[in-house]
Amino acid sequence: MSKISTLQKIRYKYYAKLPDEISGSLNGIGIEFGEGSEALADQEEIKEIFKLTYGKPAAHFKNGKNAISQHPLNAGVILSGGQAPGGHNVIAGVFDGLRKGNPESKLFGFLGGPSGLIENRHIEISSELINKYRNTGGFDIIGSGRTKIETPQQFESSLETAKKLNLDAIIIIGGDDSNTNAALLAEYFLSKGAKTQIIGCPKTIDGDLKNKFIEASFGFDTAAKTYASLIGNIMRDANSAKKYWHFIKLMGRSASHITLEAALQTHPNICFISEEVEALSLSLGDVVNAICDSVVKRAKNGENFGVALIPEGLVEFIPEIKTLICEINDVVAKEEEFGSLTSAQKYSCVSSKLTAASKLIFESMPQEIAVQMLSERDPHGNVQVSLIETEKLLAGMVKTRLAALKKEGLYEGKFSALTHFFGYEGRAAPPSNFDADYCYSLGFTAFLLVASGLTGYISNIRNLNRPVSEWKAGGVPITMMMNMERRRGENKPVIRKALVDIKGKPFKTFASSRDEWSKKTSFVYPGSIQYFGPSEICDACTITLQLEHEPL
């Protein structure tokens, strides 16, 4: 590890809290089951794939008759996918649970994500090691990776590793794809008569792994607060200098939860929610005009500055751009030598094969932005939207539109734009108290699920808008959250992503104020994450989570 800051030394001493119902002696923790479960959709197809794990009941831990095994257990843990604040505390919760159950229990950390399980690359996690990572950000204790366990050989190799280490369980900490993989692994192990149980934990800063069973994915709280702090700093600067419009792109490809939460915390002049843009079928021109309207109105008040928030995946939600990207993906997939072409050759190749409507949009973009759409595809064959500088695209188009309005005598202000992309700044931040407690509780609950003999479940904590003492711990079968989706030309079971609900209270709360924010400087400066002080400041959950627990 690198040198340790004074704050980090103090954070080591923070004792992560557990819900009251699971904080006492294991002898006093009971388990209660609900009725059998069904998948969210496509029940028959999901049931056919998960013959051995489908239909299991949700579980809830409570004070009561003991059902927790206290025999020595060997468990493995995997960090899968992108970083999210609090991952180390999940591992700490698993470790402490195992040792509380029996001091002879062992925890192995697989290195570099799922590939560590496939290749049997691991370390044994000791008290000395885990104590160096409690309440810290990042995934550097064992690293992460995006390998998917999907081929017969990968499944077989994973089983061999589990047998060699005599594993009673594997805990997979990841997002929707990683936990879908966990469910498939659980089914495979049972089909082979293996004793190794599989338990998942919900992780992603994007906030799109949530539903009526999972109230929040860990890391979202810290990441959103980190971005809101940075946005607040920029707002304070803008309100001081009074001469720049800041275009800020925020991480979140498939869903706009982070952008919505940041808006609720800071009150920007302009904020787009991708899900609404798609629902209203807004064009790129509509988006540009909305920004220009705010710029013009604020200029009339003598305020030639402002802040616009833009979700990372916005371009894929604008129907005409979505169509363009699909056409580009088709061209790229069919051109075997595409990767070896120069940028100019790629541009020419794609432009010549687009439909007339898409070609018009493609060629109207600044060429450097258009070329970004031709970058190397991700493992799923999709454009890497994080590489498309949407914030620069919009800033440039707004500038051009304002120049036209000025010629028409409809705009008399001054416009100067600065652009930002906040992504990696939030993924590995030191976890907030909320995430430190939530993650520790998820990890400890994962141990309880293992010790209760369950497999194919995801650890869940409910009642998150209340103090930690009132949280409710349990687990739900991963298949409950699934539907079938088309992936690479095949129908596959996946956990359904949670997009922003534009009929939900968080969005409606934002929408009720945005018109005023677009004209009037209403900035809020949330400041840095606080770890010490009044509980209402240090332990507070996100505004989104608070609103989701309130009636409409």
Question: Residue 174 maps to which CATH number?
Answer: 3.40.50.450
In this predicted structure, the answer to whether residue 1 has a pLDDT above a threshold of 80 is no
pLDDT digits (tens, 9 = 90+) for 382-433: 667 677 899 999 999 999 999 999 999 999 999 999 999 999 999 999 999 9
**According to the model, what pLDDT value does residue 504 have?**
97
Q: What percent of the chain has pLDDT over 90?
A: 84
For range 340-369, the mean pLDDT = 89
Q: Is 206 a catalytic residue?
A: yes
Confidence band, pLDDT 50/70/90 cuts, at residue 451: very high
Confidence band, pLDDT 50/70/90 cuts, at residue 354: very high
> Both 394 and 441 in a single domain?
no
**According to the model, what pLDDT value does residue 297 have?**
97
For range 526-545, the mean pLDDT = 95
Q: 363 is in which domain, residue-wise?
A: 318-382
> Both 138 and 95 in a single domain?
yes
CB 492 within 8 A of CB 484: yes
Confidence band, pLDDT 50/70/90 cuts, at residue 381: low
CB 34 within 8 A of CB 153: no
CA dist., res. 348 & res. 357, Å (int):
16
Pairing of strands 472-477, 457-462: antiparallel
pLDDT digits (tens, 9 = 90+) for 505-520: 999 999 999 999 999 9
Q: What percent of the chain has pLDDT over 70?
A: 98
**Residue 56 Cα to chain centre, angstroms:** 26
> Both 142 and 124 in a single domain?
yes
Residues 206, 208, 435, 539: which is the catalytic one?
206
CA dist., res. 453 & res. 437, Å (int):
25
CA dist., res. 446 & res. 233, Å (int):
38
Confidence band, pLDDT 50/70/90 cuts, at residue 380: low
Query: 242 in a domain, yes or no?
Result: yes
CB 179 within 8 A of CB 495: yes
> Both 177 and 69 in a single domain?
yes
**According to the model, what pLDDT value does residue 236 have?**
98
DSSP letter at 145? Answer: B
Strands, sheet with 270-271, edge to edge from the N-terminal-most edge strand: 270-271, 306-311, 245-250, 417-422
CA 6 vs CA 13, 127, 140, 276, 364: distances in Å: 12, 21, 19, 44, 52
In this predicted structure, the answer to whether residue 131 has a pLDDT above a threshold of 90 is yes
**According to the model, what pLDDT value does residue 379 have?**
60
> Both 175 and 133 in a single domain?
yes
pLDDT digits (tens, 9 = 90+) for 87-109: 999 999 999 999 999 999 999 99
Query: 44 in a domain, yes or no?
Result: no
Query: 235 in a domain, yes or no?
Result: yes
pTM: 0.94
Query: 31 in a domain, yes or no?
Result: no
Give the domain CATH number at 361. 1.10.10.480
Contacts of 364 (CB under 8 A, 6+ apart): none
In this predicted structure, the answer to whether residue 550 has a pLDDT above a threshold of 70 is yes
Domain tally, the chain:
3
Around Cβ 525, how many Cβ atoms within 10 Å? 16
Contacts of 246 (CB under 8 A, 6+ apart): 234, 238, 306, 307, 308, 417, 418, 419, 420
Query: 348 in a domain, yes or no?
Result: yes
In this predicted structure, the answer to whether residue 273 has a pLDDT above a threshold of 70 is yes
Confidence band, pLDDT 50/70/90 cuts, at residue 2: low
pLDDT digits (tens, 9 = 90+) for 202-227: 999 999 999 999 999 999 999 999 99
**Six token digits for residue 269:** 């002049």
CA dist., res. 159 & res. 279, Å (int):
45
> Both 267 and 164 in a single domain?
no
> Both 418 and 545 in a single domain?
yes
Query: 181 in a domain, yes or no?
Result: yes
> Both 396 and 523 in a single domain?
yes
Higher pLDDT, 385 or 244: 244
CB 317 within 8 A of CB 280: no
**According to the model, what pLDDT value does residue 480 have?**
96
Helix ranges restricted to H, 60-202: 87-101, 114-118, 127-130, 152-164, 176-191
**According to the model, what pLDDT value does residue 254 have?**
87
> Both 114 and 182 in a single domain?
yes
> Both 349 and 260 in a single domain?
no
Give the domain CATH number at 282. 3.40.50.460
Query: 39 in a domain, yes or no?
Result: no
> Both 301 and 334 in a single domain?
no
For range 277-288, the mean pLDDT = 95
Query: 40 in a domain, yes or no?
Result: no
> Both 80 and 197 in a single domain?
yes
**Six token digits for residue 381:** 């064959």
